[in-house]
Amino acid sequence: TKVLLTGGSGFIAAHILDQLLNASHTVITTVRSQSKASAITSAYPSQSSSGSLIVAIVPDIAQPGAFDTVIQEHGKDLEVVLHTASPFHFNFTDPKKELIDPALIGTTSILQAIAKWSPTVKRVVVTSSFAAIINEAHVSDPSTVFSENSWNPVTIDDIHKNPATAYRASKTLAEKAAWDFVEDPKNGAKFDLVTVNPPMVFGPVVHHLATLEAINTSNERIVHAIRGKWREGIPPTGQAYIWVDVRDVATAHVKAGLGEVDGVSGERLFVVSGWFSNSEIAAVLRKNFPEDKDNLPEEGVKGGELPAKGERFGYDNSETTKLLGIEWIGLEKCLVDTVRSLKKVEGSA
Ligand code: NDP
């Protein structure tokens, strides 16, 4: 099957790319620079030379019409589009320009281009987020149960509150725009839509990473932990408290996108493994990496605990687990594999 994957240089997308190529699909992936393109083609030399992997450059997804050229050039016989590219970081000064525009215009411009030039596309999977599900006002409320049906009520007026809220707005507005697009017959979409909504994603790094300084946002805390930043006190976990392994996130995109599971058309897939806390991460790392004990917080160092059950939200993703027929990777395996991959990056730097 011919698949287009946007943002192929990213942490999650690199796992999707790997799974697609291992299953012998033909993949066109987009990145924003020649150096990122070269890193991918050199990681897959045989697929690149046989033409089963093509890396295309889309320099700025925040431009209307950003994906027109790539879809015009590669849209023939294209069946599946997986749209993962979207900014996930907090080092911005202008949230509208740096987060909202690439998230929102990136999403609408790819959908418009497919509707216009690639009638063979049957399904589009958009990587959304728990950020589009959570309601910040209810994170400490045990009677709130977040599920596939929950929507973050955040609006564009909230983007100057704080960086986390701005990021959540970018994901919420982009996902809403995608559903609005396929629901409005005027847009002429011949494809259906599935979204994948992960909470905090941890897991091994397979994308090109020059140094650990360039680690993706969600794995950053693990780098901090193994580098000794948690020795004097473990930082707060944040508001989200739920996580999933990157390999399961990739599997969800592939299974849903390639039609390997039934009943996912028009669904939001809330891919969650379980609860986590920074305090639990520290304990798992201490147990599994005794050789790093000088960098890790000693047993008894406080901070980063999970709030008691009566002081945090509830969640229910049983619908997604059933649809995907998946057994979620557990936290200990995930962290062990993640740290091993980080050590490889460090060793080769
Ligand atoms: P990465 O930062 O590794 O990947 C983000 C991808 O988007 C990269 O390919 C990046 O390109 C691309 N991108 C970001 N901003 C722009 C831009 N302005 N123009 C063009 N491309 C851009 O993070 P993840 O792999 O974690 O994120 C992938 C997707 O998953 C995103 O949609 C994110 O919102 C979503 N997500 C991630 C979660 C997590 O915990 N990791 C949780 C929930 C959702 P480049 O390599 O050039 O920077």
| Residues above pLDDT 90, as percent of the chain | 97
pLDDT digit string (tens) for 274-283?
999 999 999 9
* Closest by CA position to 254, among listed 51, 33, 69, 27: 27
What spacing in Å lies between the alpha carbon of 84 and ligand 1's midpoint? 7
Whole-structure pTM value: 0.98
Domains of the chain: 2-200+245-271 (3.40.50.720)
Looking from the CA of 274 toward its CB, the CA atoms found within 13 Å total: 11
What spacing in Å lies between the alpha carbon of 310 and ligand 1's midpoint? 33
Query: DSSP class of residue 100?
Result: I
What spacing in Å lies between the alpha carbon of 11 and ligand 1's midpoint? 7
pLDDT digit string (tens) for 166-199?
999 999 999 999 999 999 999 999 999 999 999 9
| Ligand 1 pocket check for 7: Cβ under 6 Å | yes
Count of residues in the chain: 349
Q: Which residues of the chain have pLDDT under 50?
A: none
Question: To 5 degrees, how large is the angle CA 220–CA 137–CA 98?
Answer: 45
pLDDT digit string (tens) for 57-81?
999 999 999 999 999 999 999 999 9
Q: Residue 346 has what pLDDT?
A: 86
Q: Residue 348 has what pLDDT?
A: 67
Q: Give me the interface pTM, i.e. the ipTM.
A: 0.99
Of 11, 15, 88, best ligand 1 pocket probe by most atoms within 8 Å of the beta carbon: 88
| Ligand 1 pocket check for 216: Cβ under 6 Å | yes
Strands (E), the chain: 2-6, 26-31, 53-57, 80-83, 123-127, 145-146, 192-196, 200-202, 242-245, 268-269, 274-275, 314-315
What spacing in Å lies between the alpha carbon of 87 and ligand 1's midpoint? 5
Q: Residue 296 has what pLDDT?
A: 96
Strands (E), 59-160: 80-83, 123-127, 145-146
Q: Please tell me the distance from the alpha carbon of residue 38 to that of residue 54, in angstroms, as a whole number.
A: 11
| Ligand 1 pocket check for 257: Cβ under 6 Å | no
